Structure 1
Amino acid sequence: MSRVRDVMNVMEQFAPSALKEDFDNVGLILGDADEEVRGVLVTLDITEKVIDEAIANNCNMVVSHHPIMLSGLKKITGKNDMERVVLKSIKNNIAIYASHTNADSVMDGVSGKMCDKLGLKKRKILSPIKESLVKLVVFVPVDHAENVRKAIFKAGAGVIGEYGSCSFSQEGQGTFRASENTNPFVGERGELHFEKEVRIETILPSYLKGKVVNEMVNAHPYEEVAYDIYPLKNDWEKAGIGMIGELDEACDEIDFLKEVKNIFNVGCVRHTQLLNKKVKKVAVCGGSGSFLLSKAIAEKADVFITGDFKYHQFFDAEERIVIADIGHFESEQFTKEVFFELLTKKFSNFAVRLSLENTNPVNYL
């Protein structure tokens, strides 16, 4: 039997809520985490029709990219779609979970799926998260160093790019004097003790600090564990907004834009002046990505694909890059596939369904 919290845990491991933007509203928005899951409906947006679809398919949990109640609700009377979503979900015991800007911030998330569809290689984050890493230093008796290392690695520390279990160790001598109120692992109360210890250093995302420290303390033999945590200025290269990569082969701009239109099934591609050069390096950002234009230019992207560019922002390309605005919905539409693939791999005791509702509010003639 799987519960709502089990689905939540899988989603959190994929895209931790700690990676969300400050304005966002993610995680379990409505429902009981202990409720048994009968079925999950995966969607990009939550509308009343999506809730009706969940009810019709016996799904008592909806996993969505876009959350509800970003600006909050003061009354719930059913006068608009959002209020009807809340009322109908409560009446039918449907849990609602959202993974929004946190799903934008992971390598295999929203922008990563855009890269998949475009066949981009040599990918990296366009705008890595800054100052979100910390360094952990702990001092451990020599014979227990390996156990402590394993514990902190298992908790998520020690990942640098594509490498895991990363640490540095140095042997030295530690000293302490245990008071009469202690039960020291080594040494005697009231006496200065010298112990051969290992200094272990590793790196971790700051949001994992509590978990890593807890596991470290549990694996450590001392009553009082000596450790330090230092903030780092490093960029977190594996987390952030937008991505950039390369095509296998360079192609003409107009051919590339036609391919983009076809892949994303776009009503129209709004783009800046073509520069009459080959397209090789492509930057992408699902949703509203105009704020990343300078990053895309700095990375020497030939084309930047995103949505929601305003009229005057197109001038900022200044013939240095081709902006291709394919629309907010269109750029994020494949996010449903990301969540669907993730959940179907993890759960086999209930149905996971892709919503068939087209929630795009923009139409084209």
Structure 2
Amino acid sequence: MFARGETIVQLMERLAPKHYAVPDDKIGLQVGSVAKEVHKVLVSLDVTPAVVEEAAQLGAELIIAHHAVIYRPLAHLRTDTPAGALAASLLRKDIAVYISHTNLDTAEGGINDLMAEALELKGRDVLEEVHTDRLFKLVVFVPETHHEKVRSAVFAAGAGWIGNYSDCSFNIEGTGTFLPREGSKPFIGKQGKLTETKEIRLETIVPSSVRKKVISAMLKAHPYEEVAYDLYAMDLKGRSFGLGRVGTLPAPESLDQFAERVKTAFGVPFVRMVGDGAKPIRKVAVLGGAGAKYVRHALFAGADVLVTGDIDFHTAQDALAAGLSIIDPGHHAEKIMKPNVAKWLAEQLKSKGYETEVFASTIDTEPFKLR
């Protein structure tokens, strides 16, 4: 059994929900259709003619990429232009393209977490907040016989977290009353007779991101035909998601030593460095892609160094004057997403019984060469 494209997209949006993206980011399905069975998926950083040919040779019907294939508005779709020719090639080969960009940067387990993990950063926090999970209070009334079943189900679905504490709930015993009318099929009691039964009022916290999943799990585990429950919006801040990460190295090291760590972690032949090579480095800010505008965020976070790409001359001067070192491994360091996203997606598909194969692109889309 092979997964349909819509199913694969749903899985990707579980890893990197679309609402995690920054405003106006070009994400989602950009070329082709996912209303079909997909036998093979190719995960790539970019979509270039070489990547399209790689997908065609593999027999992949879907490319999942980080960088948009259509980023700037197209005034026309002429096949004698690079953009038009690329789109025409994809359509001829019936290869769809789905983009997961800043939502994948922001997501837990996404590009910025992968980069932070590769650098072995501890105690990580978000560099710039993009989205905060709204919190809700779920209150559901459960017969004593099914209390543990319902509570376990909502916890397994993602409810009950307060900070680093899981399985948080409050439980009060009481008496529930109801009168089953004609057409009802009561789990307890009989039609036409007022029923009193011992119930437990179960209260727990539900983040907005898993609200539908938690309610579905609760209803499935609950024995009643009609479940009495309430969901209250709370004026409390939930978990924050955002761009970049800030964390600490296991032990201090010089900027020169750290530069070698960055080269190894991201598999790049060189880095550009701003700062004194002997400077001790402990607190690190990292942001995939182009991070010149995040220098002030790194300074505010107290970072000794910012690891990011596409740093320009004047930004480097300003950072140096402010006492912030910079390591620039290039925008292409985001290639770290290819094997990791491919592995995650393959595991998700396999766990659901699908035979769809997932491949990480082997094409090097780095445009810069050293001479």
TM-score after normalising by structure 2: 0.82
1:281 is displaced (CA, Å) by 1.7
Distance 1:128 1:46 in 2: 28
Q: Could you tell which deviates more after superposition, 41-50 or 26-35?
A: 26-35
2:272 aligned with 1:269, yes or no? Answer: yes
1:128 is displaced (CA, Å) by 4.5
Match of 1:322 in 2: 325
Match of 2:284 in 1: 282
Match of 1:2 in 2: 2
- The alignment partner of 1:305 has SS state of strand
Distance 1:181 1:297 in 2: 68
Deviations 1:177-211 (A, max 9, x none): 76968847667999997665433333333233233
Mapping of residues 156-175 of structure 1, within 5 Å: 156-160=158-162, 164=166, 166-173=167-174
Q: Could you tell which deviates more after superposition, 64-73 or 192-201?
A: 192-201
Distance 1:202 1:130, change over 3 A: farther
Q: Could you tell which deviates more after superposition, 353-362 or 216-225?
A: 216-225
1:110 is displaced (CA, Å) by 0.8
Distance 1:187 1:104, change over 3 A: same
Report if the CA contact (8 A) 2:160-2:169 is conserved.
Answer: no
Residue from 353, 359, 363 that aligns with 1:357:
363
Match of 2:20 in 1: 19
Distance 1:293 1:196, change over 3 A: farther
Q: Runs of 5+ in structure 1 lacking a partner?
A: none
Residue from 253, 256, 259 that aligns with 2:258:
256
Residue from 129, 149, 152 that aligns with 1:150:
152
Report if the CA contact (8 A) 1:104-1:111 is conserved.
Answer: yes
Report if the CA contact (8 A) 1:131-1:231 is conserved.
Answer: no
- The alignment partner of 1:234 has SS state of strand
Report if the CA contact (8 A) 1:136-1:204 is conserved.
Answer: yes
Letter in 1 for 2:2: S
Distance 1:176 1:14 in 2: 42
2:236 aligned with 1:230, yes or no? Answer: no
Q: Could you tell which deviates more after superposition, 242-251 or 175-184?
A: 175-184
Distance 2:270 2:358 in 1: 29
Letter in 2 for 1:352: V
Distance 1:128 1:185, change over 3 A: farther
Letter in 1 for 2:212: G
Letter in 1 for 2:305: V
1:148 is displaced (CA, Å) by 2.6
1:130 is displaced (CA, Å) by 4.7
Letter in 2 for 1:230: A
1:45 is displaced (CA, Å) by 0.6
Distance 2:73 2:367 in 1: 21
Distance 1:275 1:117 in 2: 21
Report if the CA contact (8 A) 2:180-2:194 is conserved.
Answer: no
RMSD value over aligned CA atoms? 3.3
Distance 1:212 1:79, change over 3 A: farther
1:170 is displaced (CA, Å) by 2.7
2:61 aligned with 1:60, yes or no? Answer: yes
Report if the CA contact (8 A) 1:131-1:232 is conserved.
Answer: no
Mapping of residues 24-63 of structure 1, within 5 Å: 24-63=25-64
Report if the CA contact (8 A) 1:246-1:281 is conserved.
Answer: yes
The count of corresponding residues between Structure 1 and Structure 2 is: 361
Q: Could you tell which deviates more after superposition, 188-197 or 258-267?
A: 188-197
1:80 is displaced (CA, Å) by 3.0
Distance 1:97 1:289, change over 3 A: same
Residue from 332, 335, 338 that aligns with 1:336:
338
Distance 1:5 1:130 in 2: 25
Aligned-residue sequence identity (percent) comes to 29
Letter in 1 for 2:84: E
Distance 2:180 2:198 in 1: 20
Report if the CA contact (8 A) 1:168-1:202 is conserved.
Answer: yes
Q: Runs of 5+ in structure 2 lacking a partner?
A: none
